[in-house]
Copies of this chain bind each other. A is one copy, B any other.
Amino acid sequence: MAPDYGRIQDDALQILDALCRCGSVSAEGRELDETAALVQELLNEAGFETKQLRADEGPAAVWGEQRGRSDYTLLLYNHYDVQPVDPLELWDSPPFEPTVRDEKLFARGSADNKAELAVRLAVLRALREANDGELPIGIRWIVEGEEEVGSPNFEQIVERNVDLLRADGCLWEGASAVLPDGRPEFGLGFKGALFVRLHIRALATDAHSALAAVAPSAAWRLVEALASLRAPDGTVAIEGFYDRVLEPTAAERAALASSSKSEAAEVLDVLGLEEFVDGLTGDALLERLCYSPTANIAGLASGYSGPGVKTVLPAEAAAGMDFRLVPHQRPREIFELLRAHLERHGFGDVEVTLLDAADPATTPLDDPFVARVVAVAEAVTGATASIVPIAAATLPIIAPLQRLVGVPGLAAPDNPVYSGSLAHAPNEHIRLADVEPAIRFTHALFQDLATAR
């Protein structure tokens, strides 16, 4: 008997509604315990044995386990926390009152990442019901509460619970169920990231700018230190920065070349650009995006930046930077290269602080788990999957899962989101039309993996 996808969708939307009524803003430490309790209750009701896992700090992660008919065990990762809602006045409906308009469901956290959690749970409930209360495969699930603040305690939670997380494969937070060109999307990895703060204090106190003739300037020092980090062609001038950077393999290039590029025009439009840097398009654009490490200035601050004039020689100046790193680059090593570069170029007075770091992590294209999951998606959709071997962004949870647990994983098209979902912005939403494709794929995958060993 074919599954009743409509009923599963109704169930998923009901779960999603309940989850989205929780204002689980991790940056504000808001309603995290309550939301964790709701997730735990939902898992319990679906037949999971559950517990809360904790690090020394931070909210609990909810863990659940349920055996299946086959020995195959799949690990699922989700997060129950959401981004802050500011600016509230730009929302067309209250962010924690899920509202359907124009075939879309609006709520903070709907796209990131509660809809995927609801889809997975509704599919599991349907599979249990259709199989006399048993799942086709074993499921382990970890739902953390700090993804939106960089998962600072996730590694410790994993370290303490490696045995609870072992599995044959893992679904990370997922990719788009349906891309604009109708293809299902896969992501096999993420860049690493290094976040630093550069700070210079040149004077004990701000001075009158007339003194600029004879007193040192923190702002000029910062400008010159930053300028030394970048070559005229836009590449990073830190000595040794590219030493570990490898060209993509032929297989990676082929995957990238055959992946969907349907979103590039939309990104240009949103950013108000005629073209990307160096006029990049197509394969070359994607290769730069995914395989080039970056050095970005996220913020600059010094002195007076209000309207009009202030005659000030600022006492201090600061910059926030992030470096996106490709496989084999290590954030702590890059941090040391940065410090050495500044020292060598006469900027020893620039104080550099490491704010956060995440290793790059990828699952190889030729991992059997990848082939199996992709095959299911292509069979369900009748379309060729779009596979991005490494994404330009960073998901810090991947490296600990791979290094400590050793489980191959990927971002699969079980997530009813699209590039317009406004994940971190006002009016975050999902399109209702994306829910059923996510359910169909998830339903097929959970059944298919029962024969995977």
Residues of A within 8 A of B (CB): 150, 191, 193, 195, 203-205, 207-217, 219-220, 222-224, 226-227, 230, 234, 267, 270-273, 276-277, 280, 285, 288-290, 292, 294-305, 308-314, 317-320, 322, 324, 355-356, 391-394
Contact = CB atoms under 8 A, between A and B. Distances in A.
Nearest to A224: B227
A210 B303 contact: no
Given A213-B292, A300-B305, 15 more contacts: A204-B270, A205-B270, A210-B392, A212-B322, A213-B288, A213-B290, A213-B324, A214-B276, A217-B297, A219-B299, A220-B297, A223-B300, A304-B320, A305-B320, A311-B393
25 contacts: A204-B270, A204-B271, A208-B393, A213-B288, A214-B276, A216-B277, A219-B299, A219-B319, A220-B226, A220-B230, A222-B300, A223-B223, A224-B227, A226-B227, A227-B227, A296-B313, A297-B302, A298-B304, A298-B309, A298-B310, A299-B303, A299-B312, A300-B301, A300-B302, A300-B303
Nearest to A306: B299
A429 to B, nearest CB: 18
Contacts of A295: 212
Residue of A204, A234, A297 with most partner-chain B CB within 10 A: A297
Nearest to A207: B271
B272 A204 contact: yes
A285 B394 CA distance: 51
Contact of A271 (B205, B312, B391): B205
A262 to B, nearest CB: 16
Contacts of A216: 273, 277
Contacts of A288: 213-214
Contacts of A207: 271
Nearest to A346: B232
Contact of A320 (B296, B309, B391): B309
A360 to B, nearest CB: 12
A215 B277 contact: yes
Contact of A393 (B210, B222, B394): B210
Given A216-B273, A322-B209, A314 B299 contact: yes
Given A227-B224, A301-B305, A215 B276 contact: yes
Nearest to A228: B227
A205 B355 CA distance: 25
Contacts of A191: 210
B297 A303 contact: yes
B299 A305 contact: yes
